Amino acid sequence: MTAEIAPQQMERLALVRPLLKSDIALALVNPLDDPPAPFAAEAACLSPNAVDKRRREFAAGRAAAHQAMQALGQQPVAIPVGENRAPIWPERLVGSISHTRSCAMAVVAKRGAIQGLGIDVEEDKPLADDLWPAICSQQEQAWLRQQHNPGQLAKLVFSAKEAAYKCQFIVSQRYYGFDGMELTLDLETSSFSARFCADQPPFNCDDCITGRFAIGAGLIVTTAELRG
């Protein structure tokens, strides 16, 4: 099974790697394989009632994060879950983890010039239009209706907001809903800008987080970063 899936993983790495600069490490692990067991401090964060799918995706995400740490020349350490359910990274690092049924990804960088990172991976399946109002602003919905593939792009909007949210959360430690950012997608450059719709200190209303995206190999992937 692993031999059959490895080429797809290589294809996915090739898809996502160009979204990131060289000082950001990227790793992928397939939850459908047998991912390494998480460290004890990580496994303790899982509910005893967690189903097999959840356990596999969690283990794959932590394994990807450990591999990304190694790629940076760092000793892998446990990444537990905080009270806010966000990963707790070592003080010297910033990172982000995302996973789907078939792919877990992690990005990690040394803290300093890079203040925040976000990655989100979704299966490349359309987002049902009855979910649009919960995720997309009126302006975003109007733009989607003008596109030839609105369901796919709605999933892209969802993913980009997730990546931008994770990125800013490392800095702000603040929660808000999908209406907290309004997205502008540039399909020609495969990039996006997420504009804050209200103050989220230290971010101000109309501040923006920029990111990039890729679609292929059955996935929609978005990344965002904040540099000092």
Distance between CA atoms of residues 89 and 95, nearest Å = 7
Domain boundaries, the chain: 2-91+101-114, 121-227
* 216 pLDDT higher than 70: yes
Percent of the chain with pLDDT over 70: 98
What is the structure's pLDDT at 228? 80
Q: Per-residue pLDDT tens for 79-92?
A: 999 888 899 999 99
Q: Per-residue pLDDT tens for 44-79?
A: 999 999 999 999 999 999 999 999 999 999 999 999
Report the pLDDT averaged over residues 131-136: 97
| Residues 170-198: b if buried by 16+ CB within 10 A, e if exposed | bbbeeeeebebbbbebeeeeebbbbebee
Q: Per-residue pLDDT tens for 1-20?
A: 344 447 888 999 999 999 99
* 213 pLDDT higher than 60: yes
Write the CB contacts of 120 (distance below 8 Å, at least 6 apart in sequence): 98, 159, 160, 162, 163, 166, 221, 222
Whole-prediction pTM:
0.94
H-state helical runs in 49-146:
52-71, 132-135, 138-145
Q: Per-residue pLDDT tens for 106-122?
A: 999 999 999 999 999 99
Report the pLDDT averaged over residues 144-171: 97
Mean pLDDT of the residues in the chain: 95
At residue 187's C-alpha, the angle toward residues 104 and 196, to 5°, is: 75
Q: CATH top-level class for 121-227?
A: alpha beta
